[in-house]
Amino acid sequence: MSVELGIFAQQIVNGLTLGGMYALLALGYTLVYGILLMINFAHSEMFMFGAYVGMFSLQGLSQIPFFTSSGGALLLLYTLAILIAMVLTGILGVIIERFAYRPLRHAPRLAPLISAIGVSLFLQNAVLLWVSSRSIPFPVLFEVQTFQFAGANISSVQIMIIVGTVLLMLLLDNFVSRTRLGKSMRATSQDRDTAGLMGIDINRVIALTFFIGPALGAVAGIFSGMYYGSIKFNMGFIPGIKSFTAAVIGGIGNLRGAMLGGFLLGLLESLSAAYISTAYKDVIAFGILIAVLIFKPGGLLGESVSEKV
Amino acid sequence: MLEIKNVTMQFGGLKALANVDFHVDKGEIVALIGPNGAGKTTLFNLLTGIYKPTEGTIEFEGTSLIGKKAYRICVMGIARTFQNIRLFANMTTLENVMVARDSRTSATPLMSVFGTRAFRREEEHTVDEARRWLRFVGLEDKVNELAMNLPYGEQRKLEIARALATEPKLILLDEPAAGMNPQETASLTELIGKIRETGVTVLLIEHDMKVVMGIADRVSVLDFGEMIAEGKPEEIQRDPKVIEAYLGSGAEALVAEG
Amino acid sequence: MGAIRTGLTAVNDFFSTRFGRVAFFFVLAAITLFMPVLFQAAGNAFMVRIFALVAIYVLLALGLNIVVGSAGLLNLGYMAFYAVGAYAGMNLGFVLQQLLEYWFGEGAQSFSYWAILPFAAIPGVIAGIFLGAPVLRLRGDYLAIVTLGFGEIVRIAITNDIGGLTNGASGLPGVGQRVAPAAGQEWVRDNLSFGTFVFSRDLFWYYVIIALVLFAIFVITRIDNSRLGRAWVAMREDEVAAASVGVNILTTKLWAFALGAAWGGIAGHTFSYWVGFISPESFNFMESVLIVGMIVLGGMGSIPGVILGAVIITALPEVIRVLAGSPLLAGVLTVEQVALVGDYRFLIFGALMVVMMALRPQGILPEKRRARELRPIDDSVLAKENQQLWEAEHKRDTDSDII
């Protein structure tokens, strides 16, 4: 009985960890969709790119003796690496928007979709050719500790992921609802034309969206590297579809929906891996996507018409 | 023929139509008028399956239209035009009308691959029918013209030809005279008369009172989603509620026409 | 950028002239029919294989073009239908070979490929309808991601040896199974080989695939000029208007999906018998994207365009490799550089998709109508469309209401 319960608790912990990554990545899909009504297919590569930048930053910074001198310095090291990855991936996102999507803003809807697939292909192969075609171990710079909790094992990496995710979500939520820039994002997502007439610089808001989304995706990528211990050029593909699923479950265009959807999907996945089939856990996730799109395309929180961000 | 009872349409907090009762009898030309935003096009969209009413019943020849898909409603015998012309812009006029024969033809893809006689005969018939309707609206010279290259008035006519080619019993015209010059309007009025002569019932939304007064047997007035008056054109013109609803915009027009 | 644009316009102008088209046709026909024989005679079996590979991609691109080009639906899981056709054909073949041998004696098993061919479309069509029926109500970009998910589901199922039919990651044929050469394959080798020229297996399959391609072109052209073809164009241009004049949007889309899947199935069956071995690796997402790319590059909806796109994307890296080895280009490219061409294929190709969308979304050899549809629209039209989009998003729960 207690073993059973332990397995269940373990799946909850694993699910929350996974869900955190999905949620962070899902936010990017939902942000862009909210403003441009477009699925950013290349977003999964932000996850991958972020993980690579994170890995190189960690490797580079750990050469400086100070950063490995104490626990606090180590935390600073990780924070710094994550920040670097966020900024660089964010800039990449802005560049992609500027060159691959903005020229197509007035084109039929199929055009930006195809362009996005092109970007995705380009980035994957750039990493494949210029970094490595194999999976690369992600550096672990601290002793990973495992804690017992309700019969489940929680590693310090998992705690870091869950805490980090929640922290970033709170930050984003506050940013969008409190700050001026965040408010102009919300206005733009509700009605782009009117927002433009009210004096909001639409291009700046879109660029901002394409900075924040990829930056969050980069963190998810680093978390994934830390959790699974390795990264690969095509690591973004599956989490990409799943995070999109998460965004759809929550109601695409809805920020809190994406967060909820991410955690829900993570839990569903880890529970189904434990109780149904490991081999088919991806199939289950895609099945959920198809089912939600057919039966509840508005998602769980997508019902309210006026609030999209 | 068409029976609308107690229909309400709610968009979020906005009531576009409130408890509307309305009917069209076979062979009539009925005009639906009202200020902008009164809910006229919403009513059309309810009739053609684009929206589902929040409440109420809509019956066409005794069959409910609620929940029916747009193409089913067309097959049942209701065709429409759109306020902001929705032609297949990159198809020729002939092709535009040929598409409308889709639901009245039955050749399968397999038949078209083998080029069977039944298929070829049906194709020929489709072309003939399309030409016939183009001639009916006076576009026989523009058969191979792209729809998007037609002048505005002719685009409206093409849309009517396309709707007629589906062999409707009832045709819904959404502001057919909008943007037309007086000559075009006159020929349109004539065309609507001709449509009735072929046995098709007409329901139209129209702002141009000249058109409405000239051909409508009956006029219904919508204002803020409510049916405020119904009757013969002359009665409607004198109805104080209608004049009030139109005050500032169409009141002078109404009075002037009378 | 400007130079690319001028170049593409020049290409387009050339093909718009009557002379250009006739010349193109003859050159194309000559290359298609005789080049592989010349390569074979010259002892270059590798190039023959490339020709056959190009032909199978042409077949796939033509099939997917029904979905993407004609009906305007982006299907990112097309390889799933190819895979279904390949695995179904092979499994059927294993059974049929034994039956044929049992009934008609030694040698009869070679008819299994031909016996299955007329039905090879069926597994693809069934898969197409199975996926299409529920998801075709979805809006374009949702549909794209759902088809992508479906492609992954099929790939995962194959990798996990679903129903014991796929032999998992090791592929088919498994231990104790074999693929019989198709009837004719050995006959042409024995009777049509002269001296050093061997009518090889690849050459035989090349002509089989070319025959299928010609058949596909015939079928697709016929359908494009029927009521279904007209309904596709109308639906692509304005779904609401098409529905309002009696076009059943769901069945019209489903036909596109099923017909596209049918060619995927036929191509899969043929591929499996040609190569004699299939594994999940051949059917991944990248392959699906590759085919979408061929269509985009060549020109959505245009049969010559799609063929050109398939030829360019499949053959160009190989052609460059061969040319670099020729005396003409000796010393221009080093061996390493030539090898890089193959490696950089996807990278260049990704960049090309972005550039094409920005500069020439209609492709190299566009279909006339499609070219007009893809032309950037001016702001007033856009504003109207946005309004409609907004209405559609906010006033209805789903798009399914209208279809």
CB < 8 Å to C398, chain A = 297-298
User: Is residue A46 over pLDDT 80?
Assistant: yes
Q: Which of C218, C225, C240 comes nearest B86 by C-beta? A: C240
The Cα C368–Cα C302 span in angstroms is 8
User: Is residue B114 over pLDDT 80?
Assistant: yes
The Cα C362–Cα C299 span in angstroms is 5
The pLDDT score that the predictor gives to residue C396 is 39
The pLDDT score that the predictor gives to residue C186 is 85
Burial A268-279, CB ≥16 within 10 A → b, else e: bbbbbbbeeeee
The pLDDT score that the predictor gives to residue C240 is 92
Exposed / middle / buried, residue C376 (Cβ in 10 Å: 0-12, 13-18, 19+): middle
The Cα A307–Cα A34 span in angstroms is 10
Instruction: Evaluate whether A282 touches C156 at the Cβ level (below 8 Å).
Output: yes
The pLDDT score that the predictor gives to residue B57 is 94
CB distance C246–B113 less than 8 Å?
Answer: no
Which token pair is B222?
């919508």
Which token pair is B120?
């070829």
pLDDT digits (tens, 9 = 90+) for C131-177: 888 888 887 778 888 898 889 889 999 999 888 888 888 888 888 88
- Higher-pLDDT residue of B151 and A1 is B151
Average pLDDT over residues A61-78: 88
C342 DSSP 8-state letter: H
The Cα A254–Cα A241 span in angstroms is 17
pLDDT digits (tens, 9 = 90+) for C275-286: 999 999 888 888
Poorest-pLDDT segment among A181-190, B174-183, B238-247: B238-247
Average pLDDT over residues A62-75: 86
The Cα A270–Cα C91 span in angstroms is 34
- Higher-pLDDT residue of B211 and A83 is A83
A37 contact C CB<8A: yes
pTM for the whole structure: 0.86
Round the average pLDDT of chain B to a whole number and report it: 90
pLDDT digits (tens, 9 = 90+) for B24-39: 999 999 999 988 888 8
pLDDT digits (tens, 9 = 90+) for A87-143: 999 999 999 999 999 998 877 777 888 899 899 989 999 999 899 889 999 998 888
- Higher-pLDDT residue of B130 and B213 is B130
The pLDDT score that the predictor gives to residue A224 is 96
Q: Identify the three-state secondary structure at position B178.
A: coil
Poorest-pLDDT segment among A23-27, A175-179, C211-215: A175-179
pLDDT digits (tens, 9 = 90+) for B229-241: 899 988 888 888 8
Average pLDDT over residues B107-124: 93
Phi and psi torsions of B227, nearest 5°: -80, 110
CB < 8 Å to A286, chain C = 149-150, 152-153
B66 contact C CB<8A: no
Instruction: Evaluate whether C361 touches A111 at the Cβ level (below 8 Å).
Output: yes
Task: Give the pLDDT band of residue A285 (cuts 50, 70, 90).
Answer: confident
DSSP notation for C228-293: HHHHHHHHHH-HHHHHHTT--HHHHHHHHHHHHHHHHHHHHHHHHHHHS-B-GGGG-HHHHHHHHH
- Tell which of A98, A99, A115 to mutate to test the C interface (max C CBs under 10 Å): A115
The pLDDT score that the predictor gives to residue C393 is 43
Query: Count of CB atoms within 10 A of residue C72's CB?
Result: 23
A3 contact C CB<8A: no
Q: Which of A117, A129, A192 comes nearest C353 by C-beta? A: A117
Which token pair is A3?
């073993």
The pLDDT score that the predictor gives to residue C375 is 62
A124 contact C CB<8A: yes
CB < 8 Å to B104, chain C = 246
CB < 8 Å to C384, chain A = none
Task: Give the pLDDT band of residue A24 (cuts 50, 70, 90).
Answer: very high
Nearest to A173 by CA among A302, A259, A44, A266: A259
The pLDDT score that the predictor gives to residue B189 is 92
CB < 8 Å to C74, chain A = 110, 113-114
Low-confidence ranges of chain C (pLDDT < 70): 1-2, 320-335, 337-339, 341-342, 374-403
The side-by-side arrangement of strands in the sheet containing B2-11 is B14-24, B2-11, B55-60, B63-64
Quick one: closest CA in B to C385, which residue? B84
